[in-house]
Amino acid sequence: MILRERHLIDAFKLATAPVVLALMFAYDALEAVPAWIYLALHGTYGVLWVLKSRLFGDKSWERPCTPLRGAMLVSGLSAYWAAPFLLIAGGRTAGFPPALLGGAVALFAFGVFLHFAADMQKHTSLALRPGRLITEGLWARTRNPNYLGELCIYLAFSLMSRHWLPFLLFGLAIGIEWVPNMRRKDRSLSRYPEFADYKARSGLIIPRILGPRGAPRIASGHQV
């Protein structure tokens, strides 16, 4: 069996809940409500990711995983566990601001909707109408609504840590992995004649609310 990037990513996502639960046992945080909320959020996200990977996963993660790429993925994915470690091992569950807890849950919910709905729209559009650019629905004003959803999700996790380190690590992941992937996709999509218009009225990740007036809407189709 060929080890693919998806296998490594899925394994780490699925391992998140046991890791957080182990931290709660190790640091006597089984009575801490913020720890349980974090477990529910990040643990559920890991399970949802694996389900998405099986049902309508991103084909870009099907690449064979080389040793170097595997080491990079392990380092990056492990860094996402800094937030629960700082929250639980650092004793930051005590005196947790209720407003911050509510805001993190709301941000997470919004991110899950964007991330999974965008990927489902992409998957369905490619299945029904391959060979054309997706420029409507959640993709109308941002070329990466799925990344925008992940941005909200991981910002919620970082907020719950109540520490600057997860924000720094997340920023590094965006610069090293996300931005190059988004730029690479833009270069691939530039082969479509309508891409220039689409790019002018959409943001790379943050939606461009004020786009060119009268810009035509183009039917869903191929997206790489």
What does the pLDDT look like over 177-197, one tens digit per residue?
A: 999 999 999 999 999 999 999
Beta bridge partners of 64: 4
Model confidence band, residue 212 (pLDDT cutoffs 50, 70, 90): low
Q: Please, is 13 exposed, middle or buried when counting C-beta atoms within 10 Å of its C-beta (0-12, 13-18, 19+)? A: buried
Judge whether 210 lies within some domain.
Answer: no
Judge whether 37 lies within some domain.
Answer: yes
Beta bridge partners of 142: 203
> For residue 118, what are the CA distances in angstroms to 8, 121, 155?
23, 5, 18
Judge whether 183 lies within some domain.
Answer: yes
Q: Which two tokens stand for residue 112?
A: 């899950």
Q: What is the pLDDT of residue 222?
A: 39
Round the average pLDDT of the chain to a whole number and report it.
Answer: 92
Taking the C-alpha atoms of residue 209 and residue 218, their distance in angstroms, rounded to an integer, is 17
Q: Which two tokens stand for residue 136?
A: 């409507």
Q: Do 200 and 132 touch, CB atoms closer than 8 A?
A: no
Give the chain's end-to-end CA distance (angstroms, integer).
25
Q: Do 154 and 116 touch, CB atoms closer than 8 A?
A: no
Q: Which two tokens stand for residue 129?
A: 């109408």
Q: What does pTM read for this prediction?
A: 0.90
pLDDT, tens digit, 9 for 90 and up, residues 84-140: 999 999 999 999 999 999 999 999 999 999 999 999 999 999 999 888 899 999 999
Sequential DSSP letters for 176-218: IIIHHHHHHHHHHHTTSTTHHHHHHTSBSSS--SS--TTPPP-
How many residues make up the chain in this entry?
A: 224
| Coil/strand/helix, residue 62 | helix
Judge whether 122 lies within some domain.
Answer: yes
From the list 149, 150, 122, 115, the residue with the least C-alpha distance to 136 is 122
Judge whether 110 lies within some domain.
Answer: yes
The residue range of the domain holding 152 is 5-200
Judge whether 165 lies within some domain.
Answer: yes
Judge whether 12 lies within some domain.
Answer: yes
Q: Do 81 and 19 touch, CB atoms closer than 8 A?
A: yes
Share of the chain above pLDDT 90, in %: 88
Q: Which two tokens stand for residue 215?
A: 């810009």
Q: What is the pLDDT of residue 215?
A: 44
Taking the C-alpha atoms of residue 51 and residue 181, their distance in angstroms, rounded to an integer, is 22
The number of distinct structural domains making up the chain is 1
Judge whether 64 lies within some domain.
Answer: yes
